């Protein structure tokens, strides 16, 4: 992609109405644009990052047998009345149409996926089964001041699983835990597996929490074994269930995932039953499993940046290489750009007629992992200058060898 024609303008001035690092860097870097508090447009750079995050999540969901679907955002009021959440869920966004109907904008999808499944699940032979989607959610959040970390419109992956027995539900839940660990690892994040309150349907739920100062949650982490508990459920003097110690340290963290054993909660509401081997009708056991994909993008920026800008982990970087041409290097840079494209390497090519200072500052702000500079100076040595965003030293690499080096 040539930067001269890319839908991208970086900005020197930081937004005044949001102090979070992720909001500042993502807006200044031209990844997202704030439409109003908690609502963002994703520009091409930002959409590439979000898509990469969501594709990693998608791959890991497919690996645990999840089948991808897509449900609507506009929900009938009746479904939310049926579960009691029309009045109980404080963040539910409700709308009235001019034709006298009332709707909810989906904050989560148990109210849609459960009645949907009554059409598909009728026998023990249909179970277990799991479906997921990656979708835009709406919540009427009181405060939306942490950039992508708390939106009123945001992205979430939600998986729902259906089982004939509690044991089967438990087994699948454990499988999803492993899948989540792998997902967050691939995203370059150390997510703490955390005990949290279970809501109304079970004793505990589990959250995946990333330590960051800007996180809104407080965790207690066992000093010895690293087991974590959310402050909401924590009692002073409590023993760690993993190692028996009672010394905990307090940290701030952001919840990037939450998984629940729903038991019969929603299958009762929508009469989701199956016929067992014995011919008896039984309620289906359900689990639900969320990951906040747009919050993840914000959290990644909170974790990976310096004073100059973002430092994307390679797995989610918008491009692998930022190619920059400086005076006298234009012709060779153009050729190298084409060679990189041919080799299938994702490259943003800064072909603009701007100063080295401007180009380097933008490159540091945008945070692409490898910067390659071609100028008359580097060409004198038949080379390009290669620098990792995460390092301060650069090296000269022979121009004929750079494509294969980057392809590695
Ligand atoms: P929080 O406690 O942060 O309000 P939650 O527990 O209400 O979140 P869940 O219903 O568990 O959220 O949703 C699943 C995931 O969706 C969360 O773990 C989080 O990563 C993400 N998420 C929830 N609310 C938001 C939001 N307002 N903006 C961005 N991501 C969100
Ligand atoms: Mg949660």
DSSP 286-315: EEEEEE-HHHHHHHHHHHSEETTEE---GG
SS3 324: strand
Instruction: Indicate whether residue 150 lines ligand 1 (CB < 6 A).
Output: yes
Q: What is the rounded CA–CA span in Å between residue 31 and residue 38?
A: 15
Q: What is the rounded CA–CA span in Å between residue 245 and residue 238?
A: 9
Work out the widest C-alpha separation in the chain, in whole angstroms: 82
139-152 per-position pLDDT tens digit? 999 988 899 999 99
161-173 per-position pLDDT tens digit? 999 999 999 999 9
56-108 per-position pLDDT tens digit? 999 999 999 999 999 999 999 999 999 999 999 999 999 999 999 999 999 99
Assess contact for 264 and 285: CB atoms under 8 A. yes
For a substitution probing ligand 1, which of 20, 255, 300 has the most ligand atoms within 8 Å of its CB?
255
Ligand positioned closest to the Cα atom of 291: 1
Instruction: Indicate whether residue 24 lines ligand 1 (CB < 6 A).
Output: no
Instruction: Indicate whether residue 284 lines ligand 1 (CB < 6 A).
Output: no
What is the torsional sign of CA 81, 82, 83, 84?
Answer: positive
pLDDT of residue 384 exceeding 80, the answer is yes
291-348 per-position pLDDT tens digit? 999 999 999 999 999 999 999 999 999 999 999 999 999 999 999 999 999 999 999 9
> The whole model's pTM is what?
0.97
Residue 233 token pair = 């459920």
């Amino acid at each position: 992609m040539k930067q001269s024609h890319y839908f991208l303008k970086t900005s020197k001035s930081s937004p005044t109405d949001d102090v979070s690092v992720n909001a500042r860097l993502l807006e200044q870097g031209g990844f997202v644009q704030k439409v109003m508090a908690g609502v963002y447009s994703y520009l091409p750079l930002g959409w590439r990052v979000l898509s990469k995050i969501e594709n990693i999540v998608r791959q890991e969901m497919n690996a645990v047998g999840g089948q991808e679907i897509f449900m609507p955002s506009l929900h009938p009021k009746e479904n939310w009345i049926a579960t009691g959440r029309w009045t109980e869920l404080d963040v539910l966004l409700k709308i009235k149409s001019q034709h006298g109907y009332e709707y909810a904008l989906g904050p989560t999808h148990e109210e849609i996926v459960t009645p949907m499944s009554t059409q598909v699940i009728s026998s023990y032979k249909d179970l277990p089964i799991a479906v997921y989607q990656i979708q835009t959610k709406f919540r009427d959040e009181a405060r939306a001041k942490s950039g992508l970390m708390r939106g009123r419109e945001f992205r979430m992956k939600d998986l729902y699983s259906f089982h004939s027995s509690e044991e089967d539900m438990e087994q699948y839940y454990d499988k999803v835990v492993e899948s989540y660990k792998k997902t967050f690892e691939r995203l370059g994040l150390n997510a703490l597996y955390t005990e949290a309150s279970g809501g109304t349907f079970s004793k505990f739920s589990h959250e995946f929490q990333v330590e960051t100062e800007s996180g809104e949650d407080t965790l207690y982490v066992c000093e010895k074994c690293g087991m974590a508990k959310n402050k909401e459920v924590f009692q002073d003097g409590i023993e760690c269930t993993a190692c028996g110690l009672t010394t905990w340290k307090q940290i701030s963290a952001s919840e990037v995932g939450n998984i629940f054993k729903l038991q019969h909660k929603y299958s009762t509401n929508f009469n989701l039953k199956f016929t067992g081997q014995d011919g008896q009708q039984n309620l289906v056991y359900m689990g639900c499993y969320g990951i906040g994909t747009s919050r993840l993008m914000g959290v990644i920026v909170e974790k990976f940046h310096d004073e100059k800008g973002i430092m994307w982990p390679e797995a989610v970087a918008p491009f692998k290489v930022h190619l920059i041409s400086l005076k006298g290097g234009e012709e060779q840079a153009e050729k190298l750009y084409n060679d990189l494209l041919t080799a299938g390497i994702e490259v943003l090519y800064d072909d603009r007629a701007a100063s080295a200072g401007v180009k380097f500052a933008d490159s540091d702000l945008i945070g692409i992992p490898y910067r390659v500079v071609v100028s008359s100076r580097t060409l004198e040595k038949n080379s390009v200058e290669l620098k990792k965003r995460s390092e301060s030293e650069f090296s000269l690499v022979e121009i004929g060898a750079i494509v294969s080096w980057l392809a590695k």
